[in-house]
Amino acid sequence: MNPQSQPGTEKPEHNSRLAPTELARMLRLLVDELIPGGEGWPSASDVGVHGLLSLRLFADGTPDLALKLAKALDWWKGGLDSDDAGARVRAVEGFEAADPDLFDRIYTAAVLAYYETPFVVEAIRQTGRPYAILPHVAGYPMAPFDAERDAPKHGRGRYIKTEEVRPVDVSGLDLDIARTERWGIER
C-alpha cells in the first residue's frame, strides 16, 4: 500500500491562506533580499518595509494575493528561507521570471517604502546629501541663479537674458477675426 494514500500521511495542500506569521516571515525575508542594507544602511526589514508593504498589498483584501506571491516565490521549497545566499537569490529571480508584473509591483512598493522611512532619510543625510521626506514643503537649499555659472554651456540654442526678451509680433495672424473651424490633421 502506498504510504501517501494512508490517512494522516498525505502531503498538505498549499492552497489555503498562509498563516499571518508565515506571511509576515515571507515578506520580511523577501524585502531583505531586495534591500539587504549594510555599511550604515539598515536592511528593509529593520525599518519595517515588510509591514508597509503588507499595508500596500493586502489592505484592499485582494483575494489570494498572498498565495500567488508564495507560489511565485516557491515558498514551500525553502529557497527564500535558506541559509544559502545563492538559493535566496534564485528564489527571488524565479519569482521575477514567474510573475514579472507582481514582482515589479512589490519591488517598487518596497523601494518607495524604504526611502520614505525616517531611518533611511537619516542614513541619506549622514552621507552629506540634503534629503527630506516632504521636500515640497520647504524645498531644498539652492544657490541663487548665477548667469555665469548657470548659463547653458552645451552649445545648442542660445541664452537670452530676461531683460532682453521681447514679445513676438502676432499682428499679421489676424487672431481677432480668424477662427478654427476644423481641428485635426485634415484642416
- What is the 3 state secondary structure string of 29-48? HHHHHHCCCECCECCCCCCC
Q: Hey, what's the cell of 24?
A: 509576515
In the chain, which residues have pLDDT < 50? 1-15, 187
Helices (H) and strands (E) in the chain, counts: 8, 0
Which pLDDT tens digit goes with each residue over 67-114? 899 999 989 888 898 999 999 999 999 999 999 999 999 999 999 999
* 49 vs 117: CA distance, rounded Å: 8
Which is nearest to 42 in space by CA: 121, 131, 103? 121
> Would you state the pLDDT for residue 183?
64
Q: What is the pLDDT of residue 178?
A: 66
Residues 124, 12: Cα–Cα separation, whole Å: 46
Strand partners, 38: 41
pLDDT of residue 5: 42
At 7 the pLDDT is: 47
Q: What's the pTM value of the predicted model, to 2 decimals?
A: 0.64
